[in-house]
A and B are shown apart, each in its own frame.
Chain A
Amino acid sequence: MTNVNLPTRRKFLGGMAAGIGSLALTDLLGAAQHFAPRVKRIIYLFQSGAPSQIDLFDTKPALHNLRASELPDSIRQGQRLTGMTAGQSSFPIAPSIFKFAQHGASGAWVSELLPHTAKITDDLCFIRTMHTEAINHDPAITFFQTGFQLAGRPSIGAWLSYGLGNENENLPAFVALVSGSGGQPLYDRLWGSGFLPSKYQGVKFRSSGDPVLYLSNPQGVDSQTRRRMLDDLTQLNELRFEDFGDPEIHTRIAQYEMAYRMQSSVPELTDLSSEPAHVFELYGQDARQPGSFAYNCVLARRMAERGVRFVQLFHRGWDQHTDLPVKLKQQCVDTDRASAALVADLKQRGMLEDTLVVWGGEFGRTVYCQGRLTADDYGRDHHPRCFTIWLAGGGIKPGMTYGRTDEFSYNIVENPVHVHDLHATLLHLLGIDHTKLTFKFQGRHYRLTDVHGQVIHPIVS
């Protein structure tokens, strides 16, 4: 939350040089844009657990002829596997049992599991050649969110709050929303601020209890009582300021006022009762259910409307090591409609032009079967060497499929896109040169993209 320091900043700029601590400094960094932004905000629909690209987007019909045959060594090339399948005596090819078709004018291939996504392919840009370095969930998802496999670095949204500040005085600049139960756990660090000041951390909105921790007044304390108490607080703090002259006191007064405003702005935001029925028809009736992915998609749109810079959704449950046909289908039922609805809804409201929507997980899944391959059942292990994500919105070429994988969806043949490249592109669309958004810590000028990253210009319109 950034604008909260405005009083301090104004005082500083007014020549008093008051409170030029880290607060004012970082505030001044607010407008870190290096060129005209293409989008104002990002909604990232992170699919945690790693959706199977082979069953959703990266169709490989020729594999049906190779069903149950061994993955050729020429394809695997001795690359490392996770400890879960490294001990398998055989790596039989498991073609997807789902049907694929081409959709829209762009003719993008989408599996039957995603009928709603299939309808908006002309708005989407598919990258089939994402690749990453980690092969296990924790390092991989941490890498995706912070640009580094180990804990300690700021998340994407924290970098953005730090670099771009806030557009809304009454809401945080960076919000995380979580849905889906079971599957892989998530970690607070995924929306954490790492070595950046903690005010840049994402605020996780919760679906039960207070949407923001400690938002509600204690039982028995009404808004009027709270207001009176806060007025006292201001008066008493002002008395202390007169005595001690510490500008930090004024900053604290401002924080309490913002907290008070959040007590009304947040419930207003999370109350979907004002949304008309057609919205729920679009996103699906489960959007009425707090905590569902669809609900979070509607919430994301409402946040976008109110100037939240970065809305990071996490939907869990994509880790189909076993029973993939059944479990993947359910995951798609839970997410397909709302994902597509969000893009359509933003488009219809004219917001897709300055919003970027990203959909994807932390790695892909193997073409070979994990566990037993039967006529209607298979599982897939983690696969970092290629997977598919899609992007939509401002600055992105719609109706495009970028990159090509080999006939096993195992290796990249053309146009690889590394996680750092994606990060560089996200920042680019927000008007930030990823090599210039830095923070000095432990003597180093750290970046989200470390010392890597190339903007993927071919997908930028």
Chain B
Amino acid sequence: MNQHLLIAVVLILVAVGGTSAAGDTDFNRDIRSILSDKCFQCHGPDAAARQAALRLDTQAGLRGAAGSDPSDSELLSRISSDDPDQRMPPPDSGLNLSPQQISLIKNWISQGAKWQQHWSLIPPARPAVPQVSQPDWVRNPIDAFILARLDAESLAPSPAADPRVLARRLYFDLTGLPPTPEQVSRGVKSSVADTATRLMKSPAYGEKMAIRWLDAARYADTSGYQSDGWRDMWRWRDWVIDAFNTNQPFDEFTIDQLAGDLLPDASLKQLIATGFNRNHRGNAEGGVVPEEFQVEYVVDRVDTTFAVWQGLTMGCARCHDHKYDPFTQRDYYAVFAAFNRIPEYGRAWKEGNSEPIIRAPTQQQQQQWRALQAAEAAAKESYQGHSLPSAERLEELAAQMPEDWTIKAGLIVRSDQTGDAGKVAEFGYFDTFSLAAWIVTKPGDSGTVLSKMIPTGEGEGYNLHLSESGTLHANFVKRWLDDSVRIETLDPIPAGPVHVLVSYDGTRRAAGITIYVNGQPVEQRANHDFLNQSFAVDQPLRIGQGMSDFTGEIEEVRIYDRVLEADEVRVLAARGHAQLRTESPPRRDLRLAKLRHFYLAEGGPEKLRMAYRRWIQSKRALETFERSLPTVMVMRDESPYRDTHILARGKYDQPGEKIEPGVPAALPPLAIDDSADRLGLARWLVSGQNPLTARVVINRLWRDLFGTGLVKTTEDFGVQGERPSHPELLDWLAVEFVQSGWDIQHMLKLIVTSNTYCQSSRCNARLLERDPENRLLARGPRFRLPAEMIRDQALFVSGLLTSKIGGPGVKPYQPQGLWKDIASTTDYEQSKGPDLYRRSLYTYWKRTVPPPMMINFDAAGREACDVALRRTNTPLQALNLLNDITFVEAARMLAQDAMSESQSDKLTLRRMFQQVLCRDPAARETEILLNSYQAYRTRFLTEIEAARKLIETGESALDTSLAPAELAAWTMIGNTLLNLDESVTKE
């Protein structure tokens, strides 16, 4: 750190903290941060790293070292010593105390060395509202706290913002979108409170509130490691939007997400809510050690939960006691234990959701589902109303049944020929199918029955193979050893003619595969049971060939593109049509099953056949529908659950002492009647006794509105974090939040109706010098909009925005080939039509190649929990706004609309300007833009092809009734407007 930086830091500290070096020293304000930053590494909470058995993070330890008099203080003498052997921190630590810091410590000791608990661990109490210089300015207590501080700094608040500016600010803050010019006019006339109430009822409110929560919850549409395949968590995302829109109290919001599954009679919604802690990344890479990543998932849950609700960096205590905050490694694993009970596997699916998962139908789908279930039940009942003939009668009907009759629904291959059967049965690992054949063997026969596999040993693909020991193998293989499902019958297949059938249900698991021998499922074992890539290969179906030639006979191969039911399998296993070359006595039960199916399908009376067909059809429709339903990954505790041990150095393969769930000892204990599991932990967070939750959550709300939190380090309320700029205000808000019943809308309304919020954001040199970061709030917030609002605004003002809530992620414009450049298998398939113009929170988020515009504008990366906000200003952002098709198309649509609605150039300009900036252009602005409009128009008139190219940008309809040169020229004006600092800034 160089000298300039130090000065800068001191300037800021002085500005914000209001420290007066010579006056009263306050332990929490002035001393603790020095000790924690410079001393705690060796003399802090971490017992393992502690030197000389000295700790300065506790009252007792510090009192001993500090003494009560500067002349007799070991602490002071060591930090001010010139002797390198005595000096603390030691010269080789790279840490240094500045003269100012030493003098602060000296003052503090001379004033009695008073110790205080770290501020954020002291439960907030509602402070008295302070007296201020201008009581009239105080619209609610927020203003009193802000003004009291301004009074102390001899600063005055700014005047109220222009109502149009304020309307725009309010709309962005409560809906994430700007107002229309009409809404601005309306907003100007109504009170802020009324406008706020109205906006919080708009569905856009939930979308706005959801997005920062998605950042914190590391929500994405892919799993994140290596091949980064898709997953479906959008039902959870939609739950979040809905929770905000219904203003679910934050305590319920918390409990549902952390432990909804543990609530009595948990609803579908509450189960979906638990997806919060399944949003972490999942590693599907071949060769990972599952135990290693299973630990990482739990770590992610602990770190995320504590960052989001407690503003604590618990992750530091994974490997050793926390270096700064009073949390031990034991504390860490006590929390870990609560999150370590779910039946999960460390190697995730490359494609799709990893268990545990639930079906998560939308409301509409739930209705459809009920209707299909009812239809199936009705059809079944109607079918069952018919009587079936007796066995004897069925036998009499046998003569009517062609000997080669078989079940035809789903039959795609029927063959008696060995050898190459061509490109059929092209199944992938999500498909359902059944493979059947008669095999006729004598003892010692072996070989491949069916193969859709690269014909080498241990190839890729699927096959049915009779081993030399006579057992039947069904292999579904990407890589033989570690990426396959390979099952085998426990017993050898008997010699003679035997019917074998294998059904595969598309779940990629051995449990979804059944081997039948002569119509009966047989005992089987899995030789390998993890198939993470499809076994589809470009190979023909081979009968009796593959790994090795079949040495017996194969007859009547039948392949279905569905899982045959057990009763249907019996039909296939019923012996006996004339072509069969080998005979043995048919089994009567199989024969009767076949006759019954024949009767129902073809031989019986029409009414019965129709009823049966309707039932089967409705059953299939129901099954197909159920398979199409979205799923979501959820939390679930297994029983018995795995034990949790302290992991030495945080390493998965170094378990130590066994640990039971609990909460960190430095925080209030669990309530007596709360269980020490996730539910207990969730209730503990929102019990009102926890000193951090309300402060942390309110601080982030404040940050979203004002640009910086009252605690700037939203991600760290520990001793290394920054102290609040307005501690009393933060506490007042936290208490108000809890006492309001954790009512987010109440808090938002309180803040946005304060005079503090409604101030003008105009700045001047004096204010800039006194308070460059606007921490004192002598002016309103002015800062660049977050990524999603910049894009959403462009879509909204140009009339392109599709206002549809929820659903799977969509793929708007992005430069071609971005995925292909670095990821092997999949390419980005751009959405079409209205899905190109959805709000950005619906943009498909691939973690390893996130949407470039979002990343350019500092969006969270969604690979891990992110509750800190970054805001930069770069040339890549400029290029993005200037040239990205999204913004060029929006400019053209903006122009199209204005041209169609306006009679003169001036009116066209005015309309475009109003749409984007919610105000009329000033004379000088009009002059600049109209001059350029004329210049662009002149150029485009002479280069009409250029004009055409420009206005053809984007897939939305081009208004061909407009003159191309003029539309192109206005498009340039739209491009200018969308790039203005004012446009991308909340003022």
Contact = CB atoms under 8 A, between A and B. Distances in A.
Interface of A: 1, 4-5, 13, 16-25, 28-29, 31-32, 80, 82-88, 135-139, 150-152, 178, 181-189, 192, 195, 197-199, 201, 203-204, 206, 208-210, 212-222, 224-226, 228-229, 232-233, 235-237, 239-240, 243-249, 251-253, 255-256, 258-259, 262-263, 314, 372, 381-382, 433, 435-436, 440-444
A138 B11 contact: no
B586 interface: no
A413 to B, nearest CB: 25
Contact of A16 (B283, B768, B874, B936): B768
Contacts of B393: none
B976 A233 contact: yes
Contact of B875 (A4, A84, A206): A4
A83 B287 contact: yes
Contact of A151 (B718, B861, B932): B861
B773 A20 contact: yes
Contacts of B114: none
Given A84-B479, A212-B879, A213-B852, A255 B821 contact: no
A137 B285 contact: yes
B950 A18 contact: no
B976 A138 contact: no
Given A189-B863, A208-B817, A221 B287 contact: no
A247 B876 contact: no
B882 A214 contact: yes
Contact of B929 (A28, A219, A232): A232
Contact of A232 (B817, B861, B939, B976): B976
Nearest to A218: B888
A444 B987 contact: no
A17 B11 contact: yes
24 contacts: A1-B875, A18-B768, A82-B286, A82-B289, A85-B481, A88-B481, A138-B285, A151-B864, A152-B861, A183-B824, A185-B226, A209-B816, A213-B876, A218-B883, A221-B950, A225-B939, A229-B972, A244-B761, A248-B985, A252-B878, A256-B979, A441-B715, A442-B713, A442-B715
Contact of B863 (A152, A441, A444): A152
Interface string B4-45: 110011011000000000000000000000000000000000
A24 B8 contact: yes
Nearest to A85: B481
Nearest to B5: A28
B946 interface: yes
A244 B769 contact: no
B953 interface: yes
Interface of B is mostly: loop
B482 interface: yes
B878 A258 contact: yes
Nearest to A243: B762
A363 B514 CA distance: 41
B17 to A, nearest CB: 16
Contacts of A246: 761, 763, 782, 985
B823 interface: yes
B981 A237 contact: yes
A209 B817 contact: yes
A20 B16 CA distance: 13
B12 A20 contact: yes
Nearest to B92: A435
B972 A225 contact: yes
Interface stretch (B64-72, B661-669, B743-751, B920-928): B920-928
B949 A83 contact: no
Nearest to B862: A151
B962 interface: no
A365 B91 CA distance: 42
Given A28-B8, A199-B872, A258-B875, A235 B880 contact: no
Given A188-B849, A245-B764, A259-B882, 12 more contacts: A21-B871, A22-B872, A83-B347, A137-B226, A184-B824, A185-B825, A188-B850, A218-B883, A246-B782, A253-B981, A256-B882, A382-B287
Interface residues of B, number: 122
B874 A199 contact: yes
Nearest to A247: B768
A154 to B, nearest CB: 11
8 closest A-B pairs by CB: A443-B720, A82-B287, A220-B950, A151-B863, A220-B949, A259-B878, A187-B848, A219-B949
A225 B783 CA distance: 29
Contact of B874 (A4, A239, A244, A443): A4
A189 B718 CA distance: 28
B719 A443 contact: yes
A217 B882 contact: yes
A138 B882 contact: no
B876 A184 contact: no
B823 A83 contact: no
Interface centre among B716, B762, B861 (most CB of A within 10 A): B861
A245 B768 contact: yes
Contacts of B980: 233, 236-237, 240
Nearest to A231: B932
Contacts of B929: 232, 236
A253 B864 CA distance: 33
B170 to A, nearest CB: 18
Contacts of A151: 224, 281, 847, 861, 863-864
Interface string B200-213: 00000000000000
B287 A136 contact: yes
Interface in B933-987: 935-936, 939-940, 943, 945-953, 968, 972, 975-976, 979-982, 985, 987
Contacts of B817: 206, 208-209
Nearest to A440: B720
B772 A87 contact: no
Interface centre among B313, B773, B870, B949 (most CB of A within 10 A): B870
A84 B530 CA distance: 12
Contact of A182 (B824, B879, B939, B943): B824
Contacts of A178: 821-822
B290 interface: yes
Nearest to B772: A20
A251 B772 CA distance: 15
Contacts of A372: 457
Interface string B768-803: 110011000000001110000000000000000000
Interface string B313-330: 101100000011100000
A236 B925 contact: yes
Contacts of A86: 482
A197 B285 contact: no
Contacts of B307: 442
Contact of B287 (A135, A237, A252, A440): A135
Interface in B498-532: 528
Contact of B782 (A18, A244, A259): A244
B135 interface: no
B765 A245 contact: yes
B226 A84 contact: no
Interface centre among A13, A209, A252, A372 (most CB of B within 10 A): A252
B2 interface: yes
Contact of A262 (B12, B315, B763, B879): B879
B856 interface: yes
A144 B289 CA distance: 19
Contacts of B885: 218
Contact of A214 (B9, B481, B821, B879): B879
A441 B315 CA distance: 13
B306 to A, nearest CB: 11
Contacts of B987: 244
Contacts of B864: 150-152
A251 B888 CA distance: 23
B374 interface: no
Contacts of B765: 16, 245
Nearest to B165: A244
B5 A82 contact: no
Interface in B444-485: 457, 479, 481-482
